Structure 1
Amino acid sequence: MCTFIFLIQRSFILIFKPNNHRKWLSLIYVVIFFLLEIMIVSNNSFILGFDHSIQNILGSMVSPTNTKLFSTITFLGSPIMDVIYLLLIMFILFKRGKKDSSLWIGFILISGNVIAFLVKMTVRRQRPLGKIIPASGYSFPSGHVFGTTLVILALIFLVLPTIKKVSTRKTITGLLIIWLIIVAISRVYLRGHFPSDVIGSALLAGTWWECCELLYLRYYDSIAHLIDHKD
C-alpha cells in the first residue's frame, strides 16, 4: 500500500506554488473562526444582536415567491449537490490528465466533511425557531455554505486557471462569490441557520482549504526529498 501511494505521489506535479503569505492567511482564518465559535458558544450579546438584526431584516422579506426562490437556491447549494459538483470537477480534471488535482479535491471533500461534522457535534448549537422549511441537526456550521465554499475554492484555484482570458476568470470569480452570498442568505431567510452560522461556515471552509494547502506543500516537499535521496 505504501509503495502504491509512493508511486502515485511520484507522478504528481506541484498543484500549489509555495507562498509566504499562506501561513499568515491560515493563522488569520483560524483565529477569527475560533473567536467567532467562542462567542457563539458563550452566547455573546454582540453575536446575538447581530443575528437577530439580520433575521429581522430577512423576516420582513418573507413571501410565497421569495420562499419558493430561496428554497430552490438552498437545494442547489445543499450538501448532496455540493458533493455532486465536486465529484464532477474531479471527473473533469481526471479526464484532462490532472490526476493530482482530482485526488486533491477528493481529499478536501472527505476531510472537510469530517471537520465540519466534528465542529457541529462540539458546538451543538440549536437551529433558529420558526423554520420555514424542515431542517434537522445542529446549526453551526452550515453544511450548505461550507460545501458551497469548497466548491467555489476548487473552481477558482483548480479550474479557472485553465482559462487564458483574465477578464473571463475575474467575471466567473465574481459570479461564484455572488452565488456563495446568495446561498448563505437563503439559509438565513429559511431560518435554517443564524447569520453567524453561515459566516463561520465560510471561514471554516477557507481555514481548512488553506491548512490543507500547507499540508500538501509540506508532504510534497518530503516526498520529493525522499525521491531525490533514493535517486
Structure 2
Amino acid sequence: MIFKQNNHRKWLAIIFLVFFFLLEIMIVTNNSSTIGIDHSIQNILGTMVSPINTKIFSAITFLGSPIMDSLYLIVIMLILFFKKKRITSFWIALVLIGGNIISFLVKITVKRQRPIGKIIPASGYSFPSGHVFGTTLVILTLIILVLPYLKNQTIRSLLKIILVIWLILVAVSRVYLHGHFPSDVLGSILLASTWWEFSELLYLRYYNNLKGLKLMK
C-alpha cells in the first residue's frame, strides 16, 4: 500500500475543507477583513517592485505555472511507473486530473476578478491560484511519495525545507505580479491539501478494487 490507515487523515481533510469553505464564503461576500488583509499585503509587496525583482518573480511564476506543475507530476509519474511503482503512478495521475477539474470548477463558480495593475498578463478568474494549487500538489507528492526513498535523513530534511520555501516563493510571486490576491494563494493551498487528503482516503477505500485490477506493484 502507498498509505497506511490513519485516523488523523479524515480529520485533516475535514479541517482543510472547513477552512477553505470559510475563506471562500468571506471572498464571495466581500468580507471587509479579507479585503483589508489582501490590500495590506499587496501594499507591502508593492514597495518591493523593481525591474530585477520583477524578472526574478516572473521566472518563479513561470516555473510554478500549471503547465510546468503538470509536467513535473507527469515526469514523477513516469519515473515511478518504470520503477514498477505502477499504482503510485496511477494514483498521481488521478490526483492531477481530479485536482485540475476541482480547481477549474471553483474558479468558474466563485468568478473572482483578478487584482488591477497586473505586472504581467494573466487571464481568467483569480480564486484559487492555479500556480499555487499545482505547486502544492507537486510538493506534497515529492515530500510524501518521493523523498522517503532517500536514505539520508539530513538530505531529506533539507529538501523538505527547500520545497516549502519554493511554495512560498511561488505564492509571493503571484501576489507580487498582481496575478492574485493573498487570499487566493492561501485558498489554493487549503484546496490542494483538502484534495490530497481526500485522495488518500479514496485510495484506502478502494485499495482492494485496485488490487483486483492487478495494478498493485
Distance in 2 separating the partners of 1:59 and 1:223: 50
Q: Which runs of 5+ in 2 are unaligned?
A: none
Amino acid at match of 1:76: L
Report the alpha carbon displacement of residue 223 of structure 1 after superposing the two structures with TM.
5.9
- For 1:40, the equivalent position in structure 2 comes to 27
Q: Matches of residues 21-32 of structure 1 in structure 2 within 5 Å?
A: 21-32=8-19
Distance in 1 separating the partners of 2:114 and 2:209: 44
- For 2:207, the equivalent position in structure 1 comes to 220
- For 1:89, the equivalent position in structure 2 comes to 76
- The answer to whether structure 1 residue 75 and structure 2 residue 52 are counterparts is no
Amino acid at match of 2:149: T
Distance in 1 separating the partners of 2:12 and 2:125: 28
Q: Which 4+ stretches in 1 moved above 2 angstroms?
A: 221-224
> In structure 1, the residue corresponding to 2:206 is in which secondary structure?
helix
- For 1:17, the equivalent position in structure 2 comes to 4
Amino acid at match of 1:153: L
TM-score, normalization by structure 2: 0.96
- The answer to whether structure 1 residue 187 and structure 2 residue 199 are counterparts is no
Q: CA RMSD in A?
A: 1.2
Report the alpha carbon displacement of residue 203 of structure 1 after superposing the two structures with TM.
0.6
Report the alpha carbon displacement of residue 222 of structure 1 after superposing the two structures with TM.
5.7
TM-score, normalization by structure 1: 0.90
- For 1:201, the equivalent position in structure 2 comes to 188
- For 1:177, the equivalent position in structure 2 comes to 164
Which whole-Å deviations, capped at 9, do the CAs of 1:106-157 have from their partners, x for residues lacking one? 0000000000000000000000000000000000000000000000011011
- For 1:158, the equivalent position in structure 2 comes to 145
* % identical aligned pairs: 69
Amino acid at match of 1:148: T
The structure number with the bigger radius of gyration is 1
Count of residue correspondences: 213
- The answer to whether structure 1 residue 144 and structure 2 residue 131 are counterparts is yes
- The answer to whether structure 1 residue 53 and structure 2 residue 40 are counterparts is yes
Report the alpha carbon displacement of residue 95 of structure 1 after superposing the two structures with TM.
1.4
Distance in 2 separating the partners of 1:94 and 1:167: 27
**Greater Cα shift, 167-176 or 115-124:** 167-176
- For 2:87, the equivalent position in structure 1 comes to 100
